DNA sequence: GGCTTGTATTGACGTTCGTTGATGCAACCT
DNA sequence: AGGTTGCATCAACGAACGTCAATACAAGCC
C-alpha cells in the first residue's frame, strides 16, 4: 500500500535548482509537472487540504473524505491514488478503514522550489 | 495585451487560508486549482522557469523561448497564454517583439499558501 | 461458512487538453 | 505600396482526464 510514489520533491536533497534558479531541463520539468498536475484539480486540492489541515502526523479516514463531495466513491478513490502517485500523500489500512496523511516535508519542499531565488549573478 | 488573468493569488491579501489552515471550500479550490494546473505541464513549467530565472523585473522575448523547444510556435504561444490566464505572467509588445515576465509576488504567495501551517488548535 | 461494510479496481463514456498547419494581425523595412 | 518577420488565433485531430456503474477485494461480524 506504499511505494509507488514519485521521488521528485527530493526527500533528502533540494530536489532541483528551484524554479527561478535556472531554466529547468526536460527531465526535471516533467517530474515536477506531475506534482503540480496532481494539485491542479479542485477535488484533489480539497482532498489535500482536508488531509493537510490535520496538521503534522495527522491522518484522515477515507470514510470522512468521501461524503464531503458530491462524487461517487470510486472517483474519490481515484483522486487519492493520483495524489499518492505524485508523492504527496501516503496511506495505511487499519482494519476496515484506510487512513491518509501528507508525506512530511513535501509541501515545504514544493514551496522552497517556487521561491528559491535565482543566483543574483554577481556580474550584473 | 493585459487584464485577462485570474486574481487568485491575491495580490493584496493572503489569497486564502492556506492549504493546511482549513479545508478549502469549492470556490477557493477551483480558483487555486487553475494556477496549479497551469504549472502542471512540462512545457509550461520550463517556460515559467526560463522567464523566472531572469529574476525580479526580468523579461524574456518570445523569440528566445520558442527555439528552446521541439514544438511549433503556435504551441508555445498557446502555453504562454495559459500561464497568463492563470495570473502567473504578463506580457507587453515592444516593436516587433513580445516580452514576458513573472508577475511580482505570485510565486511567493503560492509558496506561502502551501506552507501556511494550520492554526495549531489550542485545545489539542 | 455467509453477510455486511469500507475501499480499490475495471471498463466505458463524454469532455478537456496538447499539438499542428493554415491563417491573421502588427510592426518594421525598403 | 509591397514584402518580410514575429507572434497570436483558428480549426481540427488524437491523447489524456474526470466521472460513473459494476465489480472485486479486505476485514469485521453473525
pLDDT digits (tens, 9 = 90+) for B16-50: 779 998 899 999 999 999 999 999 999 999 999 99
CA A63, C1' C10: Å apart?
Answer: 22
CATH of the domain at B93: 1.10.10.10
Q: How far is CA A107 from CA A8, A9, A16, B7, B73, in A?
A: 12, 9, 15, 22, 34
Q: Is A11 contained in some domain? A: no
Residue in B with minimal Cα distance to A38: B40
pLDDT score at B120: 66
**For the segment A78-97, what is each residue's pLDDT rounded down to a tens digit?**
999 999 999 999 999 999 99
Average pLDDT on A53-76 reads 95
B51 Cβ nearer than 7 Å to chain D strand: no
**For the segment A94-112, what is each residue's pLDDT rounded down to a tens digit?**
999 999 999 999 999 999 9
Q: Give the closest-approach CA distance of B40 to chain A in angstroms.
A: 4
Q: Is A3 contained in some domain? A: no
**For the segment B57-116, what is each residue's pLDDT rounded down to a tens digit?**
899 999 999 999 999 999 999 999 999 999 999 999 999 999 999 999 999 999 999 998
Range of the domain at B92: 26-115
How many structural domains is chain B composed of?
Answer: 1
CA B112, C1' D22: Å apart?
Answer: 43
CB–CB contact B20 A68 (8 Å): no
Q: Is A86 contained in some domain? A: yes
Q: Give the closest-approach CA distance of A60 to chain B in angstroms.
A: 12
Q: Is A6 contained in some domain? A: no
Q: How far apart are CA B103 and CA B72, in angstroms?
A: 25
Amino acid at each position: 500500500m506504499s511505494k509507488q510514489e514519485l521521488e521528485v520533491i527530493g526527500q533528502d536533497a533540494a530536489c532541483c535548482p528551484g524554479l527561478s534558479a535556472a531554466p529547468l531541463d526536460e527531465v526535471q520539468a516533467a517530474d515536477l509537472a506531475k506534482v503540480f498536475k496532481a494539485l491542479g484539480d479542485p477535488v484533489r486540492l480539497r482532498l489535500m487540504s482536508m488531509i493537510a489541515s490535520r496538521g503534522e502526523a495527522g491522518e484522515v479516514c477515507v470514510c470522512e473524505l468521501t461524503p464531503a463531495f458530491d462524487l461517487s466513491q470510486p472517483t474519490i478513490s481515484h483522486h487519492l491514488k493520483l495524489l499518492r502517485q505524485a508523492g504527496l500523500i501516503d496511506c495505511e489500512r487499519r482494519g476496515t478503514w484506510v487512513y491518509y496523511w501528507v508525506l512530511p516535508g513535501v509541501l515545504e519542499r514544493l514551496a522552497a522550489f517556487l521561491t528559491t531565488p535565482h543566483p543574483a549573478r554577481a556580474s550584473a
